[in-house]
Structure 1
Amino acid sequence: MPPYANTAQKGMDVSEVLALPVVTTLEDSNRAFGIGRTTGYSLARRGQYPVPLLRLGNAYRVRRADILRALGIDEPSPA
């Protein structure tokens, strides 16, 4: 079982995850996965975050497509 699976952080529902920008912050990604801030940053520093991270200076960014894929959410096709 991954180290982030047993946390009590409130996650996002599917509509909130789909509403994320194309590239989002680590804090928003943590909420999508239901993990806390400290755990999320710890996983990021150790290279064990559930999806690939983008490092921009001192900030981490996460692609929405990676979050959706990891959570098994299909992105709706444009109408």
Structure 2
Amino acid sequence: MSREKHHLNVSCEATNLQEINREIGQLKMVIGFMLAKFSPEQKQAVINELNGWGLPNSAEEFDQFVNPRPPR
């Protein structure tokens, strides 16, 4: 199997912590929406991998897209 080389140029023009926080929040939502399109098995596999990589906070955060919670 040959490996292709790819170059990505991704940027964020934030001038303060509030803008950085907004950008990170938007990115998390995009990832969550993409995760929601996976099969139930694939969704759970992602959560398990996050936990396996020592990222329990991220696993809990993205688990909301896997196992929606009722409104409070």
Q: More relative contact order in 1 or in 2 (CA 8 Å, sep 6+)?
A: 1
Alignment TM-score > 0.5, same fold: no
TM-score between the two structures when normalised by the length of structure 2: 0.25
The structure with the largest strand share of the pair is: 1
TM-score when scaled to structure 1? 0.24
User: Which structure has greater helix proportion?
Assistant: 2
